[in-house]
Amino acid sequence: MLVPAAMLAAGFTLASCSALPVLPPRAASTALSDTGDTRLGKAVLAGTMAHPGLAGIHPLSDGRDAFAARAMLAQAAERSLDVQYYIWRNDTTGMLMFDALKAAADRGVRVRLLLDDNNTAGLDAVLAQLDAHPQIEIRLFNPFAIRSARYLGFVTDFGRLNRRMHNKSFTADNQVTIVGGRNIGNEYFGAAGDISFADLDVIVAGPVVRAVSDDFDRYWNSSSAYPMAAMVPHPEAAPARQTDPAAADYLDAVKRSTFMTQLTAGTLPFEWAHTRLVSDDPAKVVGKAPKEANIALKLRGLLGEPKRSLDLVSPYFVPGKDGAEAVADLARQGVRIRILTNSLEATDVAAVHAGYAKWRKPLLEAGVSLYELRREWTDEPSREQRRGAFGSSDASLHAKTIAADGNRIFVGSFNFDQRSIHLNTEMGLVIDSVALAGQLTSTLDNRMPTRAYEVRLDENGKLHWIERPKGKEVRHDVEPGTTWWKRAAVRGLAWLPIDWLL
């Protein structure tokens, strides 16, 4: 009986160590509303007055522009920065963005930083140091009680820790916000040496910014948002920062961008459109959100039932039986449906590809067009020419966007997968804009043929992939750019009942 007793004791010890502390009292905190007299407030006033009730939208498809937009907002802020992310990397752009927040705080700007705790490993000392600043407050969403070997938390508290806050927003002075698919890290901002994520954000001014701020408050004040000091009461000293030559080179490249020139000159073009925020209830991570609050239902209501066309871009596409049938039904009704996701060679999560691959045949048989982003392409000669809506020459798709009937578009954090639908919290914007929806359609029309494989069925019902390098057409009868072992592993994963996790 000694071994079972020892195991039982160890289990109790592990459970007690992985239990969250009692949520301490927190100071009431909400978005600042008296910010119309700030530089940002004055900068957007003319546009909002000329377009009452509408939001000014500018898409950020290039990674460097997306970094520049955040850096400029941090620099321009006078009263507040409310920042919410799923991932914040301990890398060049992550540290530069921390520096930007601290510089704003040094000027007296109130900074509230809300991070999902799933990806903060190795950052406790840095975050605690920032949190000690009198103008910065950091909260960790759905935190891990065990700070070092975090995987142990999944052993005793999997049901909670498996649910994450996937939201992404960066709001300055409650006047301008950035919402979309990007996290904070080199691969999202065109600074990674090996691979970059092809992603999409929008920078937004107008009344919908208030809705984003209110939603931030809802998460910030939820029972899942723990003060940094409650989770790391006695932090180790943060390691000394070393001079990073790559940071200077990257900042120099950002300063030379066309976006920075337009932004500083006040000539950045905005599309003014009716825009609504869609967001999950933060109680979703503890399984207590009402079903009608699910972002998937809200999206369906706001986008409506497409009558003519549906363009769906999702890096992780795991529709499940219900989703696949809904998409197939639309296609059979005559709606032109195009789906762009990652190929097996480009995806960063092979298990997700297994959850997607099983639905390719039924979708194609229903008339859906499927495209899978290639990891690289070589039909364009220079890196500058390759920068655009689908990123660098060695890329993995990360953008999440949907265009319906050429007049409505969604941009946000929501993937068309089971995790986004049922487990993670998500957010995004539904924009009524023929121009922005048309941009997505045009991008898919013009770039997808050379940058993605088209998946087809032959006369025998077998899958094959069409590649079009330099105007030629090349057929692949197995998933291109992959090994037999990788394909076998994906086929094995597809048999497992794990779609609900993907």
With CA atoms as reference, report the closest residue to 501 among 351, 340, 312. 351
Contact 112, 137 (CB under 8 A): yes
Whether 168 is a known active-site residue: answer yes
Question: How far is the C-alpha of 360 from the C-alpha of 338, rounded, in Å?
Answer: 12
DSSP secondary structure letters along 37-76: TSHHHHHHHHHHHHSTT-EEEEEE-SHHHHHHHHHHHHHH
Question: How far is the C-alpha of 197 from the C-alpha of 496, rounded, in Å?
Answer: 28
Whether 51 is a known active-site residue: answer no
Residues in Cβ contact with 145 at an 8 Å cutoff, skipping those fewer than 6 apart: 17, 18, 19, 20, 21, 153, 157, 231
| Selected catalytic residue, list 58, 298, 353, 398 | 398
Neighbours of 96 (CB within 10 A): 21
Instruction: Say which DSSP state 322 is in.
Output: H
Residue 219, H or E segment = helix 208-220
With CA atoms as reference, report the closest residue to 351 among 322, 376, 316, 325. 316
**Cα–chain center distance at 498:** 22
CA dihedral 8, 12, 15, 16 (to 10 degrees): -170
The tokens for 128 are 């605690």
Whether 398 is a known active-site residue: answer yes
Which residue in this structure is represented by tokens 């903060």? Answer: 120
Whether 400 is a known active-site residue: answer yes
With CA atoms as reference, report the closest residue to 282 among 15, 84, 144. 84
The tokens for 230 are 């409650």
| Selected catalytic residue, list 82, 117, 131, 173 | 173
> At CA 59, angle to CA 58 and CA 64, rounded to 5?
110
Strands 136-141 and 110-116: parallel
| Selected catalytic residue, list 405, 422, 432, 476 | 405
Strands 401-404 and 169-172: unpaired
Contact 389, 447 (CB under 8 A): yes
Strands 196-198 and 395-397: parallel
| Selected catalytic residue, list 65, 116, 131, 166 | 166
What's the half-sphere exposure (Cβ side, CA atoms, 13 Å) at 366?
22
| Selected catalytic residue, list 82, 91, 168, 201 | 168
Active site residue ranges: 166, 168, 173, 398, 400, 405
